[in-house]
Structure 1
Amino acid sequence: MLLSVIIPTYNSQKFLKTCIKCLKQQLTRDIEFIFINDGSTDNSLKIIEYNIKNDNRFKIYSKKNTGYGDSCNYGISISKGKYIAIFEPDDYIPKDFYSELINNIDGELDIIKYNGIYKVQNNQKSRLFNYYNHPKNNFYFRNYKKILYSHPSITNGIYKRDFIQRHKIKFCTGSGASYQDEQFRISIFYTNPLTKIIDKCKYEYIIHGDNSINYKGKKLNIQAIEKNWQEQLAWVTNQKFDVYFNYVYAYRQMLNIYKKTKNYQIVKSFFKIHNKMVYPNYFYYLNVNTFDLFKYYINLIKNKIKDFK
């Protein structure tokens, strides 16, 4: 088996017929599609069962509701492909999406990704990010630092399953909208995979408002984010990596959340878990403009929170 595509699914009945049609049209034949039914309470399971009849590329596994990250982890654990991918059932990909990624496998590449993703909202499509001046040949992840500042876009590439499992790379397991893919992304940085970027944009990340599935539309869950930060820190510590990048990345994430929500509790939560500021090595990981932005927001927070620590 060359490729396993994991589809974490929770109450997705409005999108599943289109999702399955999209997957059935994929040109790659040496592939398995693994639906993880995360305790759906609507007709998701019935719709999947009915629409995948007579196509042995599709598999369904049902479990109790434990969240998006845990569903991805479970799917990876039972997958059989040399490479794995994640697909969200309310998004869209063209029929050659996986075949072109597979055709670009060169030697022992650990990751093959497209250059960016599209965001589709209110029938308007825009490119969410672009890796300008990216290496044209295969490169090690940490040698191209701009990749760290972009959208995580876990779904727009394929990942060698042996690499993921050997390094114990997982999604965070916090519930709700709590950035479960951040641990996956941070772990990828630390483990420094051999990577290739295809200079095309194909994945369509579709925003459906209140009807979004797979936790896109859920309210920010600070307790779940705390749990995810704890899991990230534990992974870095257990793997005996330098903790600085994890601190800096979580700090950046906290500031971005604060910028959007003006919720001071996220700041207190960050320092409760990470318990100190990290000034050393900032400039190693971040450019000057990003650092200045961080200083601006941290000063803004300091001026408004009396018990800031």
Structure 2
Amino acid sequence: ESVLNQTLKEIEVICVNDGSTDSTLKILKEYQSNDDRVKIINKENSGYGDSLNKALDIVQGEYVGIVEPDDYIKPEMFKTLYDASVKYSLDKCRCLFHDVYTDRITINKFPAVPKNIVFSPLEKKEIFFVSPSIWACIYKTSLIKDNNIRFLNTPGASYQDTSFNFKTNALAKRIMFIDKALHFYRRESGGNSVTNKAKVEFVQIEWSEIYNFVKSQNGNLDCLYPTMAMVLLNSYDWNYKRIADCFKSSFMFSWWKETVQRHVLGQIKFKELSPFYKKVEYVVLFMPFLYGRFSRNDRKKIW
């Protein structure tokens, strides 16, 4: 309803029913019968990435946005982002969002990223350190289709926004970050551990895709290697903290092996990292068995 009630009326609403119950499909059809902007893709459960890819295959609008089923958006969100995109010929436009918990609502301002100005991500790489939040953006459809930007079809996977977000940032020439919180993102209140062994590795699959993507660009994106190394440290650190204790050692070993390989390939160089990340990288490379002894905040203080 928050999508259909947008002040920007000229929209197409593609609803993907990914193997949900018949009652879900019935509800979608009721909305479709009352609003001819609604289109339905009804499919077997094949995962988040495949669902979004199937929607992207039939998108016809000049710009495209994503709204996940448990979130909601302000009525003016798409009009605000679309008007800025048209005015400034943007490839990607992003807004702030509300983190919605059961007991509170907060807004992360992302102060390191410039707001309300047009910039190139290759010149202002701070954008790569911001959480992917693919649903807080609209993208020029041609950016996605001309570059064949897709989500990975990894059934049951997590982190599938990681490589999609990186690719759209890397290939967009003109981005704007609107200084308004227009999206409401529901978060779990608890810090549940990941106890599925397969899901422990999904973040590594996404980063493998990112490195392969950059390698395929004939050197045009090699300037991003230092940024990638530092953002990867953030991603892997976050994953390390949330996986069950029984998986931490094996994940750390895989992380260490990747790090060694990328140093050998010249994709990571100590001299190109900031002082904090240089210290973290040193521990991952030479003392991985010590990594889990401190929280991230403790590491910032100690190192």
- Three-state SS of the structure 2 residue aligned to 1:72 is helix
The equivalent position to 1:48 in structure 2, one of 23, 28, 34, is 28
Q: Does 1:240 align with 2:225?
A: no
AA aligned to 1:108 is S
What is the CA distance between 1:227 and its match in structure 2? 3.8
Q: In the aligned structure 2, how far is the partner of 1:275 from the partner of 1:66? A: 34
Q: TM-score, with normalisation over the residues of structure 2?
A: 0.79
Question: Is the 2:115–2:179 Cα contact (8 Å) retained in structure 1?
Answer: no
Structure-2 residue corresponding to 1:292: 279
What is the CA distance between 1:95 and its match in structure 2? 0.8
Q: In the aligned structure 1, how far is the partner of 2:24 from the partner of 2:149? A: 28
Q: For each residue in 1:63-84, what CA deviation from the matched residue of structure 2 results, as whole angstroms up to 9, or x when unmatched? A: 2222111211221121001111
Q: Does 1:104 align with 2:84?
A: yes
- Three-state SS of the structure 2 residue aligned to 1:203 is strand
AA aligned to 2:3 is L
What is the CA distance between 1:159 and its match in structure 2? 0.5
What is the CA distance between 1:264 and its match in structure 2? 2.4
Structure-2 residue corresponding to 1:268: 253
Q: Does 1:118 align with 2:98?
A: yes
Question: Is the 2:283–2:290 Cα contact (8 Å) retained in structure 1?
Answer: no
Percent of aligned pairs with the same amino acid: 27
Change beyond 3 A, Cα 1:253–1:138: same
- Three-state SS of the structure 1 residue aligned to 2:79 is helix
Q: TM-score, with normalisation over the residues of structure 1?
A: 0.77
What is the CA distance between 1:186 and its match in structure 2? 1.8
Range with greater deviation from structure 2 (39-48 or 272-281): 272-281
The equivalent position to 1:34 in structure 2, one of 14, 36, 56, is 14
Change beyond 3 A, Cα 1:248–1:77: farther
Structure-2 residue corresponding to 1:93: 73
AA aligned to 1:207 is R
1:1-309, aligned counterparts within 5 Å?
21-41=1-21, 43-105=23-85, 106-114=87-95, 116-132=96-112, 134=114, 136-207=116-187, 221-241=199-219, 242=222, 244=225, 246=228, 249-261=231-243, 262=245, 263-270=248-255, 276-278=261-263, 280-281=268-269, 284=272, 286-296=273-283, 301-303=288-290
- Three-state SS of the structure 1 residue aligned to 2:180 is coil
Change beyond 3 A, Cα 1:80–1:237: same
Change beyond 3 A, Cα 1:134–1:218: farther
Q: For each residue in 1:89-123, what CA deviation from the matched residue of structure 2 results, as whole angstroms up to 9, or x when unmatched? A: 11111111111111212242101111x32111113
Q: In the aligned structure 2, how far is the partner of 1:36 from the partner of 1:226? A: 27
Change beyond 3 A, Cα 1:41–1:271: farther
Q: In the aligned structure 2, how far is the partner of 1:269 from the partner of 1:40? A: 35
Question: Is the 1:39–1:63 Cα contact (8 Å) retained in structure 2?
Answer: yes
Q: In the aligned structure 2, how far is the partner of 1:149 from the partner of 1:271? A: 22
Range with greater deviation from structure 2 (104-113 or 129-138): 129-138
Question: Is the 2:115–2:178 Cα contact (8 Å) retained in structure 1?
Answer: no
AA aligned to 1:266 is F
Range with greater deviation from structure 2 (271-280 or 137-146): 271-280
Q: In the aligned structure 1, how far is the partner of 2:173 from the partner of 2:104? A: 34
Question: Is the 1:174–1:228 Cα contact (8 Å) retained in structure 2?
Answer: no
Q: How many residues align?
A: 277
**Relative to total residues, which structure has the larger helix share, 1 or 2?**
2
- Three-state SS of the structure 1 residue aligned to 2:93 is strand
Change beyond 3 A, Cα 1:283–1:101: farther
- Three-state SS of the structure 1 residue aligned to 2:145 is helix
Q: Which runs of 5+ in 1 are unaligned?
A: 1-20, 211-216
AA aligned to 2:215 is T
- Three-state SS of the structure 2 residue aligned to 1:141 is coil
Q: In the aligned structure 1, how far is the partner of 2:21 from the partner of 2:210? A: 30
